[in-house]
Structure 1
Amino acid sequence: MKFFEHKPFDARAVMGFGVLNGISIGLLNLSLGFNSVGFYQMTKLAIIPCTVLLETLFFRKIFSKTIQLSLTILLLGVGIATVTDLQLNALGSILSLLAVITTCIAQIMTNTIQKRFKVSSTQLLYQSCPYQALTLFIVGPFLDGLLTNQNVFAFKYTPQVLVFIVLSCLISVSVNFSTFLVIGKTSPVTYQVLGHLKTCLVLAFGYILLRDPFSWRNILGILIALVGMILYSYFCSVENQQKASESPAQLSQAKESESDPLINIENGSGIVNEGVVPKAPVWNSDKDLRA
């Protein structure tokens, strides 16, 4: 439909990224199925520190103490608002650990692939979605049958069910598009911050629209989380402004160094007299001349 330009690039990177994304989605759903809601929320909270750790170790990315403080406040608030019961089991814990690792790697890859191959979020999504869909289509029904003893294809799909499935798919496309766009333009950590904002909004809308039970603990947690999000946004904008102000200075220094007068090799002076053509340097075996 000509909304964007089709741009193929490294097929192996796209295939690996698509399959990894599909595995991540499957593991997150399995984690929710085998764990309590409280432990699943703890799993989601672990994605931010895990992402920070991976980017620090493998990409040498430095997170300032102010950014770390704002993320700590954010995680504390979301934890207070959402984490209720913590029921642990061995299989659920293993699935949660795998879900956190694969999700972090997939989101980091979303950012690095867009920058490395100079593709937009839409181009990356277009290239990787077939592999992601194929992975889920093969693995999903098999796991559903294994866990529930029911065949997903044997379900009676009424017109009403089909309408909601199509609606869900359309919403999922918009979610995927916004996810790739946000991660590509900002960072995986910023995307996770927005994800926790979504969690707070879900709680708030559930209370306002659906009259879900709400406690002072939920309100306190949401307020603390909002403070962390505001601090994170503020510190990120301050650091971006500092980087932007440093860039012109570095460019001017580079230009000055490029426009420096030629060095007189013979006498070591950095000044060249006007109107005098400098002599070509004569090779001297006694000296170590460096360009």
Structure 2
Amino acid sequence: MSYTTTLSEKAPEEGVQPVSSTLSDYDADLSSSGYPESPDLEDREKYAGILADTKKTDKAAPGLGFIVWTAINVASTVAIVAFAAYHFFITGATLWVVSRPQCAIFIPKQVSIMQISPLAAAMCIQVVLQNLSLAYSSVMFHQLARLLLTPVVALLNYMLYSTKIPRAAVSPLILLCSGVGIVSYYDSLAMDSASAASTSSRGTIFALAGVCTSAVYTVWIGQYHKKFQLNSMQLLLNQAPVSTVLLLLTVHFTATPPLAAVPVSMWVLILMSGLFASLVNLSQFFIIHLAGPISGTVVGQLKTCIIVGLGWAFSTHPISFQSIVGIMLALAGMSL
């Protein structure tokens, strides 16, 4: 059903749709959201005006807000390189707060624990494997190995859903995989230095296992979006509490020091890591909202370059020429 009644005879401003032209959009929104159709014409016209303003805003080019949230996202990710379960608690609490009517950034949608548990378990496994990878390999190799997530996800999509890889993407993926392989081999040769944070064979296994698990998790995210009709924040709000509980259950089986032995400085770092985790998740949402998913991917590539550069600058062991070539190949493949 659509209405043609307008609020005034005055011509609408340029670039803004008339209120009457958006009433059909209002009908579509109501039908897709499951809410009953409002019989009040005045309310319908008011909401239609909001839709028109939203469409005008969506067409605007990214401005200062996009730049600010990009800076926050990059800085937070670089600072957070390796923390885990606490982040899920902070992220879940933050999402719960911003979903309250006072903030109303998004509307929460509940999914049963049994349905969300497989996704949460995959997330926890890949977090554990990433931390084990960092424990047995250099930060530089760990970050470069994470770049393999793109080709592995593409391979899984092809195997499971017959999604073809564009020919233009084949060469960059070959460069990327070759570069990571070169760094993996030559970085592991530096194990003769006892104080050097280099990559062992165990670290390589953990890194590759983490990439495969992350790829499964990434593919599942897409399926959960489609199956339950959830946006990213709704899905994360359902997943975060379950992930927190699952990771807490593993604490008993890990080598953790007594709480009294943890220095105050470490508690400060833990608190900061939780704040960084919240900023990463929220800023990523704002980046995609303001500039689209492609810009979000570009920001992710920027973060990889920064982390690899910092790992290179602060490395305690000399980097071979072959490793430098591998890094350049991987970054070139990522950028193409």
Q: How far is the alpha carbon of 1:96 from its aligned partner? A: 4.6
Contact 2:301-2:335 within 8 A present in 1 as well: no
- Equivalent residues in 2 for 1:1-291, closer than 5 Å: 1-34=103-136, 40=142, 43-78=145-180, 84-85=187-188, 89=201, 95-96=206-207, 98-145=209-256, 150-151=257-258, 153-158=259-264, 160-177=265-282, 197-205=302-310, 220-231=325-336
Structure 1 unmatched ranges of 5 or more? 232-291
Q: Aligned pair count?
A: 220
Q: How far is the alpha carbon of 1:144 from its aligned partner? A: 2.2
Contact 1:197-1:226 within 8 A present in 2 as well: no
Distance 1:129 1:108, change over 3 A: same
Contact 2:126-2:214 within 8 A present in 1 as well: yes
Distance 1:21 1:211, change over 3 A: closer
Q: How far is the alpha carbon of 1:112 from its aligned partner? A: 2.1
Structure of larger gyration radius: 1
Contact 1:73-1:224 within 8 A present in 2 as well: yes
Distance 1:21 1:178, change over 3 A: farther
Distance 1:58 1:128, change over 3 A: same
Distance 1:194 1:80, change over 3 A: farther
Q: How far is the alpha carbon of 1:111 from its aligned partner? A: 2.2
Contact 2:144-2:180 within 8 A present in 1 as well: no
Q: How far is the alpha carbon of 1:135 from its aligned partner? A: 1.2
Q: How far is the alpha carbon of 1:46 from its aligned partner? A: 4.3
Contact 2:147-2:334 within 8 A present in 1 as well: no
Contact 1:78-1:221 within 8 A present in 2 as well: yes
Distance 1:141 1:172, change over 3 A: farther
Q: How far is the alpha carbon of 1:218 from its aligned partner? A: 6.2
Q: How big is each residue's C-alpha offset from its partner over 1:178-198, in whole Å with a ceiling of 9 and x where there is no partner?
A: 6788999759xx96x875653
Distance in 1 between residues matched to 2:114 and 2:140, nearest whole Å: 37
Q: How big is each residue's C-alpha offset from its partner over 1:159-178, in whole Å with a ceiling of 9 and x where there is no partner?
A: x4333211111112233456
Distance 1:140 1:103, change over 3 A: farther
Q: How far is the alpha carbon of 1:88 from its aligned partner? A: 5.6
The normalised TM-score by structure 2 is 0.52
Partner of 1:289: none
SS of residue matched to 1:32: helix
Contact 1:111-1:183 within 8 A present in 2 as well: no
Distance in 1 between residues matched to 2:106 and 2:331, nearest whole Å: 35
Q: How far is the alpha carbon of 1:211 from its aligned partner? A: 9.0
Letter of the 1:84 partner, please give it: D
Distance in 2 between residues matched to 1:6 and 1:113, nearest whole Å: 15
Q: How big is each residue's C-alpha offset from its partner over 1:230-284, in whole Å with a ceiling of 9 and x where there is no partner?
A: 42xxxxxxxxxxxxxxxxxxxxxxxxxxxxxxxxxxxxxxxxxxxxxxxxxxxxx
The normalised TM-score by structure 1 is 0.59
Percentage of identical aligned residues: 29
Contact 2:110-2:238 within 8 A present in 1 as well: yes
Letter of the 1:174 partner, please give it: L
Q: How big is each residue's C-alpha offset from its partner over 1:7-37, in whole Å with a ceiling of 9 and x where there is no partner?
A: 1135433122112211210122123334566
Q: How far is the alpha carbon of 1:124 from its aligned partner? A: 0.8
Contact 1:78-1:196 within 8 A present in 2 as well: no
What CA RMSD, in Å, does the superposition of the two structures yield over aligned residues? 3.9
